[in-house]
Homo-oligomer: A and B are copies of this chain.
Amino acid sequence: MSATASFNPKAFRDALSTFTTGVTIITTRGPDGEPIGITANSFNSVSLNPPLVLWSLAKSAYSLTAFSANKHWNVHVLSTEQEALSGRFASRGEDKFAGIDLDRGINNIPLLHNCTARFQCRTAFMYEGGDHVIFVGEVLSFDKSALPPLAFQSGQYALAARKPREGVRLSSAEELAPECSYTEDLLGYLAGRAHYQLVAYLRTLLQNHKLDEHAFFVLSVLSIQDRLTLEQINRFVGYTGREVSQSMMVFLEKQRYIATELDSGETPRYALTAEGREVSLEHVALAKAVEEDLTEKLGLGDVQALKILLKRLIHATDPGLPDLWVAAPQAAISL
């Protein structure tokens, strides 16, 4: 191991990028008053008293002149919904501020909206940092919203899944079951239990309407794509492992949730009745209320993170389901 290493730059960047960061946009005004803004993840806090923060700017950056001349700049900790804004300010485009609502901060420095936190600063020190300049700023003013923050790790945007201080274990068993057996750490168990416990909140409402989860799926599918054959319905709900039977359709029709269309002796197509649509909406409304309650308990950022991970899991295990939210071409033609 030599004291003066000559690094593979990519390997060095890869190692550095394992350190998770938030994402900020830092704004100022150029000599002619034009707004300047760049995306930076090199931000960090330095001192509480006096209140200081820092970030680094490449010496090659176009905006270096502006940030060197104007002592005032604002740091915006971006929220999870501001990924596109991050991309926009990370590029060299000239119209970064086009169409963006701005507040005027101290010294007329642009303040962006809908961030997680904002710090209005004045340069306290500019330090030599190799191919970068380190800006240390005194924080003159700050504010914070309830929006969950965006994160960045290993070159990808990310959302933080927070771990409570007391840890997250389902069982209080001191020794968990041996590695080879069924444990609380089995993803299949966790996904199943999460699913069933979420459905549990719907169950009473389902029973009031003489429905089970499976029948609810049928109504939900028909609430998005109307006039489907039984075969088409089964293509959408087949992933549950239970086939929708003709007799379930007869039952749902008897309950007046669906109606059958018979086009000149063709295969019957099913559509929701007004009542079926109402029942379906009632269930979706309850599912949303359950989700809102959960969001209160877990935090919005964590629920967003969970949805991203579930979608990635669904992509990774997708047996080739048709897209429920895009009507199949042949259905569009035949209707």
Contact = CB atoms under 8 A, between A and B. Distances in A.
Contacts of A186: 284, 287-288, 291
A1 interface: yes
B149 A182 contact: no
B201 A191 contact: no
Contacts of A227: none
A307 interface: yes
Nearest to A304: B161
A50 B52 CA distance: 25
Contacts of A44: 19, 21, 42-44, 56
Contact of A194 (B125, B163, B191): B191
A57 to B, nearest CB: 10
A310 interface: yes
A329 interface: no
- Residue of A151, A173, A199, A309 most packed against chain B (CB within 10 A): A309
Contact of A20 (B22, B128, B164): B22
A144 B15 CA distance: 6
A312 interface: yes
A185 B188 CA distance: 21
A171 B324 CA distance: 7
Given A19-B45, A182-B223, 13 more contacts: A15-B142, A19-B24, A20-B160, A47-B56, A47-B130, A153-B160, A156-B164, A168-B312, A170-B311, A191-B194, A191-B195, A193-B310, A197-B319
Contact of A159 (B120, B128, B142, B163): B163
Interface in A264-289: 280-281, 284-285, 287-288
Most B Cβ at <10 Å: residue of A48, A139, A152:
A48
21 contacts: A3-B122, A11-B142, A14-B144, A15-B117, A18-B144, A19-B149, A20-B160, A46-B130, A48-B131, A159-B161, A161-B309, A168-B312, A169-B311, A171-B326, A186-B288, A190-B314, A192-B198, A197-B318, A200-B319, A294-B316, A306-B310
Oligomer: number of copies:
2
A162 B171 contact: no
A262 interface: no
Interface residues of A, number: 143
Given A3-B106, A140-B4, A315-B170, A193 B130 contact: no
A153 B164 contact: no
A83 B163 CA distance: 10
A334 interface: no
Contacts of A134: 46, 54, 127, 134, 136
A42 to B, nearest CB: 5
Contacts of A129: 46-47, 52, 54, 125, 136
Given A134-B46, A168-B312, A326-B172, A317 B200 contact: yes
